[in-house]
Amino acid sequence: MGEHEQDRDRPSYRRPEEIGPFELSNALRQLQLLGDDPNLRMQAFNLAIIDEFATRLEYDLLKRLHEQEATPVPEATFVSAQSQMWIFATYELMRTWRQRAKDMIKWSENGGLEAKLRVLEKNLGYQHFGRQLRAQQIKQVLAEPSIIDKIKRDHRLTHILFARIEAIRVTIAKHEVRGRKNSIALMPGYGRINHWCGSLDFELENGAYSMGYISRRDIADEIRALATASTPPTDEMIQEFEAFMRGPGTEPL
């Protein structure tokens, strides 16, 4: 096989020094209702800090793997722990933001924004900074209704990304299959070292079939890609994705 053919098959993982330290957090901060919330911004910043740390750990693990020609168990165990905790934290941030976006869209469509604002601005006898922040976001939407279109776009833009994060999070944390309560995952938490970037590849599966692999690094790169993404997936694309995740011969989730 020629050198150009090998390069064509090589995954496009950048080296740690090629990744800007704030690419991940900046991509998340572009999402409506996340960038103007200091608490969510702090969580995004935390993810970026650990991403940089974990990425270097992963490349060090890959180097040790090549040197020893065998799995360096202590290093692999630590990378696995860091990877799983990072995935859990990423899931929680994305879940929190997507629920907030979903609520804002619902209140806008059913005429409930003003009612929700009155509840948030009710005098509690003390300052509640979290409620004040939420109230301010609603005021911004009321003053500029076009913000809702941006929220809808960002919510749809992250649909497939979040579904993939959710799928691997449910497998690792609950030993179940996404969308199937009381199901049993095939091999929850088991990861293999990716030979291109050192991140651990976890299996995406539906309890019967494998749909490939996903790593912590894959998730981080997909988040960074939000910064330049311009077109959200269509309804057809989302339906095709969900059908793929269900696998052949299985019932809808």
Question: Which has the higher per-residue pLDDT, 181 or 111?
Answer: 111
Q: How do residues 79-107 score in pLDDT, each as one tens digit? A: 999 999 999 999 999 999 999 999 999 99
| Among candidate residues 208, 199, 214, 209, the one with its CA nearest the CA of residue 168 | 214
Burial class (CB in 10 A: 0-12, 13-18, 19+), 125: exposed
Per-residue pLDDT band for 6 (boundaries 50, 70, 90) equals very low
28-37, 145-154, 200-209, 230-239: least confident range: 200-209
Q: How do residues 9-34 score in pLDDT, each as one tens digit? A: 556 899 999 999 999 999 999 999 99
Token pair recorded at residue 245: 């995740």
- Per domain, the residue ranges of the chain are 20-242
Q: How many CA atoms lie within 13 A of 38 on its CB side?
A: 5
d(CA 60, CA 80): 13
- Whether the Cβ atoms of residue 151 and residue 32 lie closer than 8 Å to each other: yes
Per-residue pLDDT band for 188 (boundaries 50, 70, 90) equals confident
Q: What is the bridge-based pairing of β-strands 200-205 and 210-215? A: antiparallel
